[in-house]
């Protein structure tokens, strides 16, 4: 969880082949979106200080920037706000399910076989 200068993430779902977001992995435990690469993001702001992301294995990873992005799909454009740029996140872009649903007024259905984004 994000408290002050700390954020957390645990990868809960890693099979993006069944979602529209091939490069973003939905994470039900993350409270922030996280990316290892700043390329392609907009409005990057340098993080000053000792901001860190706390991950499930107990490691603390440095947050370099915060940024924003837009995901274009055939049916809708989605917003990703306040993305944490963490270069050492192991090459996976983590999509905070909670944050994404709140920002875009959608919800996810998860089953043991797949996940599905539902747009109301």
pLDDT grade for 5, boundaries at 50, 70 and 90: very low
Give the pLDDT band of residue 4 (cuts 50, 70, 90): very low
Q: What is the pLDDT of residues 26-58, one digit of tens each?
A: 888 889 999 998 887 888 888 887 889 988 888
Domain residue ranges of the chain, discontinuous segments joined by +: 6-119
Q: What is the pTM of this model?
A: 0.74
Domain 6-119 fold is: Cathepsin D, subunit A; domain 1 (2.40.70)
Closest among 2, 38, 16 to 95, alpha carbons compared? 16
Q: What is the DSSP string of 32-66?
A: S-EES--TT-EEEEEPPS--EEEETTS-EEE--EE
């Amino acid at each position: 969880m994000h408290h002050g200068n700390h954020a957390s993430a645990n990868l809960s779902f890693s099979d993006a082949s069944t979602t529209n977001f091939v490069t973003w992995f939905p994470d039900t435990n993350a409270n922030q979106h996280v990316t290892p690469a700043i390329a392609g993001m907009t409005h990057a702001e340098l993080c000053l200080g000792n901001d860190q992301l706390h991950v499930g294995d107990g490691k603390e990873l440095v947050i370099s920037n915060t940024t924003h992005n837009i995901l274009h799909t055939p049916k809708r454009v989605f917003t990703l706000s306040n993305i944490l740029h963490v270069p050492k996140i192991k090459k996976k872009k983590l999509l905070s399910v909670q944050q994404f649903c709140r920002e875009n007024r959608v919800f996810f259905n998860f089953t043991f076989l797949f996940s599905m984004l539902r747009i109301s």
